[in-house]
Amino acid sequence: MRLLLSTYTLNGFPLRDSFLLAKELGFDGVELVIKPSHVLVGTRRIREMSEHCGVPVLSVHQPEWHWPHTTKGMLRRLARFAKDVGAQNVTVHFSGLRFHSQEKIFSFIKSLEKEYGITVALENSKRRGRDQAPKWCWDTTELSALAARYGLNLTLDVPKIAVSGGEPKKFFKNLDQRIVNVHLHGSKKSKIHHSLLASDIDYRPFLKTLSQSGYCRLLTFEIFPLKHGASNANEVKETIASDLKLVLSYWNG
């Protein structure tokens, strides 16, 4: 398993601070959430920063301005960006895809994976999100059928499944081989990206299932303390460290 820290954890801070925090806490790498400043500085500089800090970019997450209209051109640029920074995965929201034919868009995504040597892991949505995602973006039955039919790689966002009425543990068991990235964060009164320790969701069954399954792909911390009361980088570090200790306890016995 490769543990990643989302760079959005320190949103508003220099990107270098995210690399350094990930290194200090013992993460294997980061999931880079693309921002305009990253596009301006360029992939070469990001890769140099990553190498200097000793923390690889293992996954790239589409930027917010892609929502809710992710086109084929945007997908290609994401794939190229990921390859240039050395990432092995791109996380894209199901709900943002814009297309006339499911078969054509998913075939295009599979062709990008082959061309760039990466995975494009499509992430499930909340049932009642800001983008009012269609049912196949959040319903576990429809998601499972879609992934099986087109051979899609997935990012499993655990609390989004839970607050949409699904069972994350069951979904993971059904689609283990299709899931290449797991987004982990807490939910409080259906508001997401909280600390795991402050979450309304009982994570113990899912973490136990994940650890016992031999899952060896990406597990990304999408915990954003700055959105939920933290006022500085030290408070962010303390929150992430506590949640990391909880998660690792399921692997370290």
**CATH code of 84's domain:** 3.20.20.150
110 by Cβ neighbours in 10 Å (0-12 / 13-18 / 19+) ranks as: middle
Q: Considering the entire predicted model, what is its pTM?
A: 0.94
Q: What percent of the chain shows pLDDT beyond 70?
A: 95
- At 44, list the tokens: 């070469």
200-218 mean pLDDT: 93
181-209 mean pLDDT: 93
The answer to whether residue 73 is domain-embedded is yes
- Residue 67 pLDDT: 57
State which H helix or E strand residue 3 sits in.
Answer: strand 2-6
231-248 mean pLDDT: 96
Q: Do the beta carbons of residue 34 and residue 81 sit within 8 Å? A: yes
pLDDT band at 253 (very low <50, low <70, confident <90, very high): low
The answer to whether residue 253 is domain-embedded is no
Domains held by the chain: number: 1
The answer to whether residue 112 is domain-embedded is yes
Domain limits at 168?
2-248
Q: Does 38 have pLDDT greater than 60?
A: yes
